[in-house]
Amino acid sequence: MREDEALSGEIRSQVDSWIANRVASSGWRGVLHRGEDIAVSVALACMTIIPLAEVALRKLFHTGISGSTSLVQHLTLIIGMLGAAIAARERRLISLSTVTHFLKGWWKSSANLFSGSFAAAITFFLCVASLQFVLSEREAGKILAYGIPVWTVQLFLPLGFAAIFVRMMLNIPGGWKGLAIAILLVAAVVWVGIRPPVAVGHLVIPALCILLLAAVFGAPIYAMMGGAALILFWGASQPIASISLDHYSMVTNPSLPTIPLFTLAGFFLAEGGASKRLLRVFQAFVGWLRGGPAIVTALVCAFFTSFTGASGVTILALGGVLMPVLMAARYSERASLGLLTGAGSLGLLFPPCLPLILYAIIAKIPIKTVFLGGILPGILMVAMTAWWGVRQVPQGAARKAFDAREAWNSLRGAKWELLIPVVAFAGLFGGFATPVEASAMTALYAFIVETFVYRDLRLFRDVPRVMTECGLLVGGVLLILGVALGFTNYLIDAEVPTHGAEWISGAVHSPLVFLLLLNLFLLVAGGVMEIYAAIVVVVPLIVPISEAFHIDPIHLGIIFLANMELGFLMPPAGLNLLISSYRFNKPMPEVCRAILPILAIQSVGVLLITYIPPLSTWLPSLFK
């Protein structure tokens, strides 16, 4: 527990520094920063309260809140753009490239200048596109609710992109000299976009190559996806405002509010003291078994990832707690490192993990069925990872006897947090709440438990910080989803999925061979693409092809997500590898060597999931 307390102390120190920086901020910039933090926290609070009020009014008075669904959907838009602006402010927009970490001096500054300038130019065009969209919507005169024009909320799109653009320019390295160069580069890109020197068709491929180079040098993922959409629409002489229309339709999807709400629940758990209480429970019940520490690691990581999403939060939050546990049990350092890295994304298939929700939205199937479809495959992946951990137990390792009193006390200590999955499932399958309302129930429950029951979070000091952090993460994700949909819809309009389905059907005749090829493709995609972008871009491409081979969409979804889970471990750029290298201060080659056995074991699990469809389809069939 001392390790956990030390980690908590480190986190608290960072939090105090975070708060001190904001208190120290003065003038209009400080007011703006605090205003953004408060606004995103208030929007998240309203998003939680409105669905719950709707449930209460419906049950008690057989009535509801006029326009509540639309209000919550547009709150998602507000949170997304505010959170993205905060992420740009904190220089935490999601990027996969690590090339700049290996560059030094002039090379690093030049790479950051190039990628930042190109990303800023893309953001400028996205701002222009969203402004054109809002102006066209203003003429339509639609009303959201209570006399609020829809365009006033849609205005958050261009305002958000404008804030991101300004902050990206201010974050350019090199002081005023760097900023001046960046302004010239952005102006050059804008000029070429408005007045191309040659036929546009001749510029599309060079522009895409420059975009790829900018992504390699660290441009955010949203800039890569949005830039690809802009370039392709520009090359086809299509209005770029349609990209913003797709962005708007994506982030106001009726099911999408479940993402920020379940994320909020996960953040309350991660920032509270849930980790040490849940670790105590799992240690008490399975820690006494042979390989108990490995089983504990797999179970705790799966539990946390199911609520926080497969974003590496689990490794960062629990790595400092679980590594000493494994080392104390005489596991080798390599086995401990491999187990923790491999277990970091185990909860990806368990509800209410965010990729499950997003897949259901993109594939247009009920969220409940995807949740049910992931349970048995998720158990399989956890069991196989834990089995490998048990096999690594050193000979003669000491084992403790089962302590019934400690088990009971640990259950009593964590009972409220252990009930969180029950709350989520009761809302989803109890028949009295929609998925959005169930996610709001889960978020409120987690807030009450961590703030008022355990008192790990202080209401006015910690809760706003946690909600701001949640908004930052959600904003970064929704920004990617919105612009990626524009790219996807271009591919659909170009009939890429249809042509792909025809070609695959003609070249491959066996569903078994197709599934093997699909696994190989998804494994590569999972290793090089961010999971949320991969879902939005890849799923619409593979669904029509899988339909030609009569593959159940739920089964396809679990195959897809299992491969994405495996992609987090794929050398050399799997996200878990990068985060583990950072968290444990280990060279990347050492992390890659440590993960190879786990990668092999989990690959077998993915093949079992692929070729045994009832693992994914049996539970959903029981609830039809």
Decide: helix, strand or coil at residue 145. strand
Distance of CA 110 to the CA centre of its chain: 30
Per-residue pLDDT, 158: 96
Asked whether the predicted pLDDT for residue 395 surpasses 80, the reply is no
* Interaxial angle between packed helices 2-24 and 27-61, expressed in degrees from 0 to 180 and rounded to the nearest 10: 120
Asked whether the predicted pLDDT for residue 77 surpasses 60, the reply is yes
149, β-bridge pairs: 143
Structure tokens at 360: 């259901």
CB 54 within 8 A of CB 64: yes
Name the band, by pLDDT with cuts 50, 70 and 90, for residue 493. Answer: confident
Per-residue pLDDT, 396: 65
Interacting residues of 504 by C-beta distance below 8 A, sequence separation 6+: 514, 545, 548
Average pLDDT, integer, range 585-608: 89
pLDDT in tens, 171-191: 898 889 989 999 999 999 999
One-letter amino acid of 579: I
CB 161 within 8 A of CB 126: yes
| Closest-CA residue to 169 (of 158, 183, 159, 156) | 183
Higher pLDDT, 23 or 518: 518
Higher pLDDT, 196 or 577: 196
pLDDT in tens, 430-453: 777 888 999 999 999 999 999 999
Asked whether the predicted pLDDT for residue 373 surpasses 70, the reply is yes
Per-residue pLDDT, 131: 95
Asked whether the predicted pLDDT for residue 23 surpasses 60, the reply is no
| Closest-CA residue to 279 (of 330, 332, 319) | 319
Mean predicted lDDT score pLDDT of the chain: 86
Per-residue pLDDT, 40: 95
Average pLDDT, integer, range 518-532: 83
CB 126 within 8 A of CB 246: no
pLDDT in tens, 129-175: 999 999 999 988 888 888 899 999 999 999 999 999 999 999 898 88
Distances in Å between the Cα of 381 and the Cα atoms of 357, 370, 615 are: 19, 17, 12
pLDDT in tens, 240-266: 999 999 999 999 998 889 989 988 998
Rounded to whole angstroms, the Cα distance separating 337 from 345 reads: 14
Name the band, by pLDDT with cuts 50, 70 and 90, for residue 398. Answer: low
Structure tokens at 342: 């491999």
pLDDT in tens, 224-238: 999 999 999 999 888
Average pLDDT, integer, range 331-352: 88
| Closest-CA residue to 42 (of 54, 52, 34, 30) | 34
Per-residue pLDDT, 452: 94
CB 377 within 8 A of CB 562: yes
Per-residue pLDDT, 359: 92
Per-residue pLDDT, 548: 84
- Give the position of tokens 């750029």: 573
CB 122 within 8 A of CB 230: yes
Classify burial at 201, counting beta carbons within 10 Å of its beta carbon; exposed 0-12, middle 13-18, buried 19 or more. exposed
Asked whether the predicted pLDDT for residue 26 surpasses 60, the reply is no
Rounded to whole angstroms, the Cα distance separating 467 from 408 reads: 33
Distances in Å between the Cα of 238 and the Cα atoms of 87, 230, 234, 485, 536 are: 30, 9, 6, 16, 21
145, β-bridge pairs: 148
Counting residues of the chain whose pLDDT is more than 70, the rounded percentage is 93
pLDDT in tens, 280-328: 898 888 888 888 888 988 998 888 888 777 556 778 777 778 888 888 8
Per-residue pLDDT, 24: 44
One-letter amino acid of 264: L
Structure tokens at 167: 């902050």
| Residue-range domain boundaries for the chain | 67-251, 258-622
CB 597 within 8 A of CB 388: yes
Name the band, by pLDDT with cuts 50, 70 and 90, for residue 98. Answer: low
Longest dimension (CA), the chain: 78
The pTM assigned to this predicted structure is 0.86
Interacting residues of 465 by C-beta distance below 8 A, sequence separation 6+: 15, 18, 19
148, β-bridge pairs: 145
Per-residue pLDDT, 164: 96
Average pLDDT, integer, range 343-347: 86
Name the band, by pLDDT with cuts 50, 70 and 90, for residue 393. Answer: confident
One-letter amino acid of 448: I
One-letter amino acid of 154: Q
How far separated are the first and last CA of the chain, in Å rounded? 45
Rounded to whole angstroms, the Cα distance separating 157 from 77 reads: 8
Instruction: Please tell me the total number of residues recorded for the chain in this structure.
Output: 624
Per-residue pLDDT, 588: 78
Structure tokens at 150: 């829809």
- Give the position of tokens 């819809």: 489
Per-residue pLDDT, 510: 86
Half-sphere exposure of 566 (CA within 13 A, CB side): 27
- CA gyration radius for the chain? 24
